[in-house]
A and B are shown apart, each in its own frame.
Chain A
Amino acid sequence: MRGVSIVGIGQTPVGEHWSLSVRHLAHGAIAAAMHDAGIDRADALFVGNMLSGSLLEQEHLATLIADFSGLRGIEAAKIEAACASGAAALRVGCMAIASGMHDVVIVTGVEKMTDTPSGSTTAGLATASDAEYEAAHGITFVGLNALIMQRYLYEYDVPMDAFAGFSINAHRNGANNPNAMFQRAIGLKEYVNAPMIATPINMMDSSPVCDGAAALVLVPSERASEFTVGQHRGPVQILASASATDTLAVHDRKDPLFLEAAYLSSQRAYLQGGITPDEIDFFELHDAFTIMSALSLEATGFARRGEGWRMAAEEEIGVGGRLPISTMGGLKSRGHPVGATGVYQIVETVQQLTGQAGKNQVANARIGMAQNIGGSGATIITHLLGV
């Protein structure tokens, strides 16, 4: 197998882009990544996207984007794994390069969630759950996470504002990210006073509905030195790429408070990369809801069961902390354009590893981990990147 390296990154600001369509968003990110890598052609385009069919009535998305982006003729396909679609597309790109099938692959993640009224978007997101046995009962994605969080509060006897620190950290970091949706810090008061969406999850526990696109250019590591035109930094190597699944429905889990798929995919990634958790300099985790931050830290070996919430403090997870997380704002503050999120995480990991993270730069960052979650823990994909 060949090693895979990232030689170009691109992203659009995350937000409510009323004037841009899904094709414009994707092209914006792809053009930026191609410029960054100094390429004008590629062999294949893999697109991570969840909702174009249900919200935009547009499938066959990757071909549309290839055509619109001036890449007509290349191989193109959309990869869908709910909110893990972005990392799933990256994984397909990795397999294409590692296997020797392709030499230059563009991976993009794109989502357009604000074209539809909020009830339609909410129903679209709920399609990641079991349609017949979860969504049919009126549960939403926020609701499923709320069921998990309520049980967590009960089993571990955790105070109601235990998770505030995750949201505060995300906003503190997002304030310095020009591509973040919410570029402002928040305090405990704003968290405590936020309106309930589904008890006990309030607005400040929850990532926003938004639009965005991010893109990467992948090449074989042995050829990475050819692709550094216009960028004064080394390529970033993908040290590990691993994916795992759990039951689709939360009610079918043996233990709904343990992210089995996060455990499995992170263990596989540690093994592949020959890396232990204590070697990881920062962790871009999937903080779609604050409860997911706690569960991710527990399942990946950074916190004990029931104690992930104790890491929600600046000295632990801040940019200068023991394990910085959500360093560019995470899903909470940068935003969570669902199928694009996994690619944003990788773009930000590359920014950290190449000294492009500005005020949020993690000092001496050599190894970063990114983890993208589809559904409420049903598909979890872990990538380790290094320089």
Chain B
Amino acid sequence: MGIASAWRTKQQRYSLRGEVCPDCHQAIFPPRDICPHCGQQAGPVHAMSGRGEVFSFTKMYSVPDGFKNQRPYTVALVKLEEGPMVTAQLTDLNGDDVNIGMKVEMITRKLREEGSDGQIVYGYKFRPALAVAR
């Protein structure tokens, strides 16, 4: 990820900042120019709660450059409670089994290091929802 791109998308990666459509009132993440649900101009900023559930998941053994030191890791499709789905890593699993339907919550973690003199990209991962919040 380029430096400018990382800067431009920081609100999305740090705080799941999306939009809500002023016409059909559906939540949108990441932000778009056109609402994918109704085709109207997408709307004002709306931060997601960070709570959601696992729609699907995969434990990855063959990984791209930049992620080798994390291998193996689990990536999930997380359905946010507001509606949008995101692709993100699961973390803090502590050996727990991952299940479809499992409740998870967003947490900010290191996504990747781009070499010894490159940027360190932080962003959202998801962990099993803490008991108190369940």
* A joins B in a complex: yes
Contact A137 B111 (CB under 8 A): yes
In the bound complex, CA of A122 to CA of B5 (Å): 21
Choose from A133, A146, A151 the contact partner of B100 (Cβ within 8 Å): A151
Inter-chain contact B65/A123, CB cutoff 8 Å: yes
* Cross-chain contact B65 with A148 (CB below 8 angstroms): no
Q: Which B residue sits closest to A136, measured CB to CB?
A: B1
A138's partner among B9, B55, B61, B64 (CB-CB below 8 A) is B64
A266 to B90, CA, bound (A): 37
- Nearest B residue to A203 by beta-carbon distance? B62
Docked CA distance A132–B121 (Å) = 11
Nearest B residue to A117, CB-CB:
B65
B35 to chain A, nearest CB (A): 12
In the complex, are the beta carbons of B63 and A133 less than 8 A apart? Answer: no
Which of chain A's residues 233-287 have a Cβ closer than 8 Å to chain B?
Answer: 247, 249-252, 256
Interface residue? A119 (CB, 8 A): yes
- B58 CB to closest chain A CB, in angstroms? 4
Interface size class on chain A is: 35 or more
Is the CB–CB distance between B100 and A154 below 8 Å?
yes
Q: Contact between B55 and A133 (Cβ–Cβ < 8 Å)?
A: no
User: What residue of chain A has the Cβ atom nearest to residue B68's Cβ?
Assistant: A119
In the assembled complex, how far is the CB of residue A1 from the closest CB belonging to chain B, in whole angstroms? 31
Instruction: State in angstroms the CA–CA spacing of A139 and B67 once bound together.
Output: 10
| Cβ B100 vs Cβ A198 within 8 A | no
Q: Would A198 and B77 count as touching, CB distance under 8 A?
A: no
Is B87 in contact with A250, judged by CB distance below 8 angstroms? yes
How far, in whole Å, are A200 and B56 apart by their CA atoms in the complex? 11
Contact with B along A115-143 (1 / 0, CB 8 A): 00011101100100001111111111011
Whole-angstrom distance from the CB of A54 to the nearest CB of chain B? 12
Task: Tell me the complex Cα distance, A374–B63, Å.
Answer: 20
A-B contact count (CB 8 A): 112
Q: CB-nearest residue of chain A relative to B59?
A: A199
Contacts of B60 in A (CB 8 A): 138-140, 142-143, 146, 197-198
Given A119-B68, A137-B123, A154-B56, CB of A197 within 8 Å of CB of B61: yes
| B39 contacts across to A, CB distance below 8 A | none
> Assuming the A-B contacts A133-B30, A138-B75, are A151 and B55 also in contact, with contact meaning beta carbons closer than 8 angstroms in the complex?
yes
Secondary structure at the A interface, as helix, strand, loop or mixed, is helix
Q: How far is the CA of A133 from the CA of B1 in the complex (A)?
A: 11
Does chain B have a CB within 8 A of A150?
A: yes
Inter-subunit contact A199/B77 (CB<8 Å): no
Interface centre among A122, A144, A251 (most CB of B within 10 A): A251
Q: Does B107 contact A (CB under 8 A)?
A: no
Chain A residue, CB-CB nearest to B99: A154
Residues of B within 8 A of A198 (CB): 58-62
Give the shortest distance, in Å, between A115 (CB) and chain B (any CB). Answer: 15
Do residues B62 and A150 form an inter-chain contact, with CB atoms below 8 A?
no
The reply to whether A251 and B89 form a contact with Cβ atoms under 8 Å apart is no
In Å, the complex CA distance between A134 and B1 comes to 11
Residue in B36, B63, B77, B85 whose beta carbon sits within 8 Å of that of A122 in the complex: B63
In the bound complex, residues from chain B placing their C-beta under 8 Å from that of A195 are 61
Most buried by A among B9, B67, B73: B67
- In the bound complex, CA of A148 to CA of B57 (Å): 9
Cβ-closest chain B residue relative to A148: B56
**Is A196 in contact with chain B by the CB < 8 A criterion?**
yes
Task: Give chain B nearest CB distance to A32 CB in angstroms.
Answer: 34
Q: How far, in whole Å, are A154 and B30 apart by their CA atoms in the complex?
A: 27
A132 to B87, Cβ gap below 8 A? no
Residue contacts A-B, CB under 8 angstroms, 9 given: A122-B65, A134-B87, A136-B1, A136-B123, A138-B73, A147-B77, A150-B57, A195-B61, A198-B59
With A119-B64, A138-B75 known, 8 other A-B pairs at CB within 8 A are: A122-B63, A138-B73, A147-B76, A151-B100, A154-B100, A196-B59, A199-B58, A249-B87
